[in-house]
Amino acid sequence: VLSVASGATLTLPAASGTGNIYKFFVATTITSNNYIIQVANGNDTMAGVAIVANDSDNSASIFETAAASDTITLDGTTTGGILGGTIEIQDVATNVFSVVARGAATGTEATPFSAAVS
């Protein structure tokens, strides 16, 4: 449960194909810093999508991971991190996590995925 308005960084264990599922729920909208969920090492990546409700017109945006995506950053506005968001991550293979994120964003919505772990 993500419930720290000033943000938090969470590091997943190394991906090895265990099938383990990690579920996150945004219980408190982030107001400063970020909620960051990242892989444990530079070899692990995430594959999947983020489905984000747009605040301006009751539509949604879908963002795909890139080949090197390894980090999810929720900023409380454009990339999510608003009360009610959910993220499900599964360890599906050596060096690979499957991810589906659902939530709301404000402003000009943007991808929460990046390659930040070295």
The one-letter amino acid code at 60 reads A
58 HSE (CA, 13 A, CB side): 0
Tokens of 38: 């990242």
Separation of alpha carbons 15 and 90, rounded Å: 9
Q: Is it the case that residue 56 has pLDDT exceeding 90? A: no
Q: Alpha helix (H) ranges present in 41-98?
A: none
Which pLDDT tens digit goes with each residue over 4-24?
999 999 999 999 999 999 999
The pTM of this model reads 0.96
Query: How much of the chain exceeds pLDDT 90, in percent?
Result: 96
pLDDT reported for residue 31: 95
CA distances in angstroms from 111 to 13, 35, 53, 77, 93, listed in the order given: 23, 14, 12, 11, 24
